Structure 1
Amino acid sequence: MELQIVSNPMNTHTDSFVESTDIPFIQANTIPVKLKEIENNHLIPVYVKDNEPVISHQDFINSALEVTHHVFKHEKIFQPNIRVSHPIKGRTPEAKDKPAKDLLEHEKTIYYERMMFIIEIPTITDTINGNQLSLTIGGVKSYNLDNLYSKKGTDEQFKIFIGFQNKVCCNLCVWTDGFIGNLRVKNTSQLMSGIYDLIQKYNVQQQLIALQNLLHYSLTEHEFATLIGRAKLYNYLPISLKKEIPILVIGDTQINAIARDYYQDVSFCRRDDGSISLWNVYNLFTGVNKQSYIDTFLDRGVNAYSFIENLAQSIESKESNWFLS
């Protein structure tokens, strides 16, 4: 395994035509949207008490783009791929008495409460088990987490990450050392500083080695069946018992999908003898995570890696693990 950095000094600007992926990195109830559409057509929420604007989705994305270009100035950087959910609809004053079905396009207003984006750097890649991984930076903004009934100057909350995207399936590989789940800032300068600090502290090789190591461990068919059964029991455990075992935050529907994909997934299903590598199990987890809502997506992605890593540690040390025993 060797990280490939293919420098492209003749192209240091965002590619105007290529997005960071042409396959959704998250699905659930999200829709795709272009940055220009957000900038030109979407309203910007304000603080109720002073009518001052919040840090908008476009401010967040452009801040991340600026930092990315600064840090990776000799790399090719794709256009951000953006997904949004939970639309907040409105109308212009002159259309206040119209039935909704009669509204013209210019009379409608909208912004989205939740937004997630990724920025792919396709010249920084690696390959694990035949799967190409590309370095990816992104973030999540959910206005529902902010106190918009106060005044400007109140902390606004953001989630940011740097990690890898598996180009076979567009699953995102995010772990604790490349993730900040509650970045609180008051302005875009603080936001850019937070993004920059995260990128500077992130260790590319450390994550790649950790992901590569998952290939060294496998579950038998019986162990995988036990894992699925225990995962379905997990949410019903007494709190006292939950404290003693690894945290698992995926839902029951997603567990069912993992069981299905164990047999049916083209890229990450079981071997002929029923065994399955932890690399494949991890990708089954990150695959079903694409059905999570935007505001829980990154947290569940981080938990997926931590959970699978705990299984690997148990196998390595030959210690008992509640999910496998």
Structure 2
Amino acid sequence: MEQTAFLTLPTTRSYIDFEEMSTNKPFLQANTEEFTFQEIRKDHTIPCFAKDNEPLISHCDFIDATTGIISDLFKGEIILSPNIRLSHPIKGRIPEAKDKAAKDLLEHEKTLYYERMAFIIEVPTISTDVAGNRLNLTIGGVKAYSQDNLYNKKGADEHFKVFIGFQNKVCTNLCVSTDGFKADLTVRDMQELQNAIYCLLQQHDSGRQIAQLKSLANYHLTENQFVQLIGRCKLYNYLPAKVKADIHPLLFGDTQISTVCKDYYKDEAFCRSDDGSINLWKLYNLFTGANKSSYIDTFLDRSLNAYQFTEQVKFALGNQRHSWFLS
């Protein structure tokens, strides 16, 4: 099995004083805004549990804990600054300004935090090449306070999503596999969160994931097969529940499938060949590219689903295994 390539670049700096951010392009778009770690720590408040006014684990604490574990597990590697995307702002005001009109509020009288957050941290000295595309090891997570019961007290379950995988540097698409993703991580304190992140990162088999990604380039869909696949994808969300229960789930909606269709013709890196055929590595990247329009709370789940869906297509092509999407 082919292993990840390790590049030797001399540095001992951590993300805190390293000037380059993880990817210079948005890895997620939709309705998100980009913020730096320092801006969030300085300007954003932290929601508390209503029953005891104790704080939840903050976005910054989540990012900081993840970075510390990355630094411990990947000693000697370059670790870039986190790229952070936020959405769903929750605005407030200090008690002294409770009777003021919104237009009259001064900056110091306003409070703000964002309900949903996604971040990635690149380790560019651990990289590989798949079909001419450079992939960097990337770790990150998602936090959505909307999944927590804020009317409880400290010690109630808090929900997180964590992943380790690779980012395609051609397009900033994320490659997330089953063993590199914790979809519903519930913890009661920071220690439990750190332990769960550490276990996920330590157990991830990067060599296996890269071998699986490389294999996708060996499988091709004809133009007719691609058209049939897309047609079935469009139909999937309208199937009766009884029929859908026997089909491998597809989490992408009409908007994302339409993006896949457009990029099949127009994407510079992953479009069709002259004869209309497309290999599964390119198909996979069309789906992960379309996923950038997802909201934060569905982003990682769809990232994994793109991988699982493409693997199902590969199995159907390679073993003549039945697939509803190609039947």
Amino acid at match of 1:90: G
Structure 1 residues 235-254: aligned runs within 5 Å: 235-254=237-256
Are the equivalent residues in 2 in contact too, given 1:7–1:76 (CA < 8 A)?
no
| Selected match of 1:53 from 52, 55, 68 | 55
Q: Does residue 1:310 correspond to 2:321, yes or no? A: no
- Residue 280 of structure 2 is matched in structure 1 by 278
- Residue 167 of structure 1 is matched in structure 2 by 169
- Residue 93 of structure 2 is matched in structure 1 by 91
Structure 1 residues 1-325: aligned runs within 5 Å: 3-8=4-9, 10-14=11-15, 15-325=17-327
Q: Once the two structures are aligned, what percentage of the paired residues are identical?
A: 56
Return the offset for 1:8.
3.8
Q: Secondary structure at the match of 2:100?
A: coil
Are the equivalent residues in 2 in contact too, given 1:114–1:143 (CA < 8 A)?
yes
Q: Secondary structure at the match of 1:269?
A: coil
Q: Secondary structure at the match of 2:20?
A: strand
Q: Distance in 1 between matches of 2:284 and 2:9?
A: 32
Are the equivalent residues in 2 in contact too, given 1:21–1:170 (CA < 8 A)?
yes
Are the equivalent residues in 1 in contact too, given 2:3–2:210 (CA < 8 A)?
no
Return the offset for 1:103.
2.3
- Per-residue CA deviation, residues 215-271 of structure 1 (Å, 9 max, x unaligned), is 010100011000111001001111121122111011111111111110011110000
Worse-matched range after superposition: 195-204 or 7-16:
7-16
- Per-residue CA deviation, residues 113-148 of structure 1 (Å, 9 max, x unaligned), is 000000000100001111110000000000010111
Q: Secondary structure at the match of 2:207?
A: helix
Are the equivalent residues in 1 in contact too, given 2:3–2:206 (CA < 8 A)?
no
Q: Secondary structure at the match of 1:97?
A: coil
Q: Distance in 2 between matches of 1:45 and 1:10?
A: 37
Q: Distance in 2 between matches of 1:7 and 1:141?
A: 33
Where do 4+ consecutive residues of structure 1 move more than 6 Å? none
Q: Secondary structure at the match of 1:127?
A: strand
The number of residue pairs the alignment matches comes to: 325
Amino acid at match of 2:81: Q
Q: Secondary structure at the match of 1:279?
A: helix
Are the equivalent residues in 1 in contact too, given 2:11–2:77 (CA < 8 A)?
no
Are the equivalent residues in 2 in contact too, given 1:232–1:252 (CA < 8 A)?
yes
Q: Distance in 2 between matches of 1:223 and 1:178?
A: 30
Q: Distance in 1 between matches of 2:125 and 2:108?
A: 41
Q: Distance in 1 between matches of 2:9 and 2:65?
A: 22
TM-score (norm 1): 0.98
Q: Distance in 1 between matches of 2:213 and 2:119?
A: 23
Q: Distance in 1 between matches of 2:84 and 2:153?
A: 28
Q: Secondary structure at the match of 1:19?
A: coil
Q: Distance in 2 between matches of 1:48 and 1:92?
A: 17
Q: Secondary structure at the match of 1:324?
A: coil
Q: Distance in 1 between matches of 2:103 and 2:260?
A: 41
Q: Distance in 2 between matches of 1:2 and 1:58?
A: 33
Q: Distance in 2 between matches of 1:274 and 1:66?
A: 47
Return the offset for 1:12.
4.3
Amino acid at match of 2:282: N
TM-score (norm 2): 0.97
Return the offset for 1:321.
1.6
Amino acid at match of 1:27: Q
Return the offset for 1:2.
5.5
Q: Which runs of 5+ in 1 are unaligned?
A: none
Are the equivalent residues in 2 in contact too, given 1:12–1:69 (CA < 8 A)?
no
Amino acid at match of 1:73: K
Are the equivalent residues in 2 in contact too, given 1:3–1:124 (CA < 8 A)?
yes
Q: Secondary structure at the match of 1:55?
A: coil
